[in-house]
Structure 1
């Protein structure tokens, strides 16, 4: 294996594109969302015709009001300048709980109430109370299950990926993808070690981490990230930055991964050779890198491919799936990405689709470019995964010319 290229400096400032209506709306989302997340279930559970005994309604309303006030305050204290982990855990948990309550208050509040009305079950108060208990029951089950899903070691998702330009010498190459580990306020050092053990059991030729290692600095999350140094691969371990690295000290994470034996592919590539055939393994910084203001950091595909034989197949690591437009224009064979978490808590994937071309799985773009989007190995923020299971991905690369 040889390292043949290096980062290229920016060639002048790039003017930021005008903001779309969606992006302007997103500016007000932090103000609107908490009110909706807490007010809607409060109305459905307490004021939708139930006529609860006197203590229930004021006590319940007080609890919802405390959630509405406490959630953003805890998140600001936890994820802002103070970086207080205990506050982050409280705020993140309240965020996940409120999202689940909101979702099922809307769905059950409309659909179940309509169904009960159609079949003539009880009067308005009876139907309202059935809805209330159904919302609470479904939400409790989903939150308990979602917490267990978030904290478990991910299952392995295996798939064969045929690359038309892959030589027979590379047929069967085993590529393991982990991404979005998001080491953070909840200490997951033991979980991290078990993830690495499962990766090692796959006997990979190439192991890739496509960013969002953690929330916090490398120094602060070192104990959780340290097991990554135990990961084994017969050819290489490679890493690219995600957007969350740029919320703290991205260069610190690049340096730590280098110390742990991973090759940071910062707009450069490696050549992986086997059986007389060659695969280009390239990587780019996250698309948010340039706006972070960190010197030398930006997504530069031309730099990553500098000196590459155009007839060789290319495997590209890019944190966000939306980079695939540039990858397809450059004729990349396969892009590996994360970032989306598969939505993490259903039905958030519908909002993810507004920003990304894919949420999970294998998709085709342009004339020959394949994109694999992982649902992520860990979780961000709320310690829940609902209908969006985490994964460790084993991709077995196949050559169309392989012998049968």
Structure 2
């Protein structure tokens, strides 16, 4: 397809092509990813080592000092052990911890208890740190400060906050509206509206009725296009077929465009991608589409997830995704993880839409999640001439189903024409 001319300088076109070539010749093919089954084994071992250490800490600092009969402490210790090993139990019973096929109520109950355990861990650790400082400053014995009343308060607060957080996580996402200025966006495309959906994680937690609600709210926005940036599901095609069916009702004049996230690869992307296509989505696998409005064009590119090579698929490759795209057309990139955004900016992308982080799920925890995602966790970031938007996601993984101060979202994005950022 021949490039349209909007009076842009040949310098801009040449620099974008050059930056693509230089960047990808240096880095894109060096994404570290362990091959299966080593990848899964290492992940599970590290994950459960962390949880074992967490359990032993809570046992030592929270349970054993309780002034109750030994039998009650033993019972509480066993209960916390079971809760801390919730995901290991799921693997033993269901063969996976990512999408246990158990009743919706059971998912909520187990999620409530596990999230409460994590909050007890955090509150106990923070209390120990505070008591340590107080003991050094005022020479007050830690036992006098961290007594049974404080432990009881911690337990009650954790159970209550966990209940509130799980309830909030299970609700329909609200619509969040933002404007994004894209360099070289034609004036005729100023005001174009797209909806970003990401991290639906359709599962036994987020079932058909919830999906219908998300689709209804999305369609009510009457956007020009719907862009889905990965992690639509948790589970196999057979288990989720009825739950994902409402996605077939998503509608937009310029189409519904999606990419796979890491969870699609966990559950056989070779089967899920054709299923999404059957539901009317254009699934981008290191490729692009051109959205045409009148004489003007907008490129929407999509890349695979970093998890793809571990499952025999090609990793994210923006050079391949943009091959053949008109050099003078602005580019929106769908990339599940926000990591690598500076590289996208260097490659000439105008707007990158990502998810994966769930916004950190809990205020304060977002600091940890940010550190694991190159500093990106939620909202807008300006990187050179590119805008990165990281959505909190519509849903989240059922293994840690909590939201406290980080609401789920359906994102309506209005594109604006303007100069470089």
TM range, normalised to the smaller chain?
0.7 to 0.9
Equivalences for residues 1-400 of structure 1 within 5 A: 17=32, 29-48=46-65, 50-69=66-85, 71-80=87-96, 84-86=100-102, 89=107, 94-111=113-130, 124=143, 127-186=146-205, 188-294=207-313, 297-357=314-374, 358-365=376-383, 367-380=384-397, 381-400=399-418
Q: TM-score w.r.t. structure 1 length?
A: 0.84
The DSSP-based 3-state class of the residue aligned with 2:237 is coil
Closer, same or farther in 2 for the Cα pair 1:143/1:15, shift >3 Å? closer
Aligned partners of 2:282 and 2:370: how far apart in 1? 31
Name the CA shift for 1:82/1:225 in 2 (closer, same or farther; >3 Å): closer
Structure 2 SS opposite 1:215: coil
1:85–1:186 CA contact under 8 A, matched in 2: no
Give the Cα–Cα distance (whole angstroms) in 2 for the partners of residues 213 and 279 of structure 1. Answer: 24
CA distance in 2, matches of 1:278, 1:15: 32
Find the aligned partners of 2:331 and 2:158 in 1 and give their Cα distance.
45
With the length of structure 2 as denominator, give the TM-score of the two structures.
0.81
Size of the aligned set, in residue pairs, is 384
Report the CA distance shift for 1:83/1:262 in structure 2 as closer, same or farther (over 3 A): closer
Offset from partner CA, 1:194-234 (integer Å, 9 cap, x none): 01111111111110111111111223211111111111212
Is contact 1:78-1:91 (8 Å) kept? no
Consecutive unaligned residues in structure 2, runs of 5 or more: 3-24, 35-40
Structure 1: how far apart are the matches of 2:33 and 2:394?
34
Deviation at 1:284, TM superposition (A): 1.3
Distance 2:142 2:387 in 1: 55
- Structure 1 CA distance for aligned equivalents of residues 348 and 305 of structure 2: 19
Q: Out of 133-142 and 192-201, give the one that drifted further.
A: 133-142
Structure 1 distance, partners of 2:84, 2:118, is 12
Q: Distance in 2 between matches of 1:234 and 1:82?
A: 34
| Structure-1 separation of matches of 2:47 and 2:266 | 18
Query: Structure 1 CA distance, aligned partners of 2:224 and 2:156?
Result: 46
Q: Distance in 2 between matches of 1:279 and 1:260?
A: 24
Q: By how many angstroms is 1:64 displaced?
A: 2.4
Q: 1:270 to 1:69 in 2, by over 3 A?
A: closer
Q: RMSD in angstroms over aligned alpha carbons?
A: 3.3
Question: SS where residue 212 of structure 1 aligns?
Answer: coil
- Greater Cα shift, 265-274 or 229-238: 265-274
Q: Give, in angstroms, the shift of residue 94 of structure 1.
A: 4.8
Please name the residue that 1:5 is paired with: none
CA distance in 2, matches of 1:92, 1:79: 18
Q: Provide closer, same or farther for how the CA distance between residues 144 and 337 of structure 1 changes in structure 2, counting only shifts above 3 A.
A: same
Question: Helix, strand or coil for the counterpart of 2:289?
Answer: strand
CA distance in 1, matches of 2:344, 2:30: 21
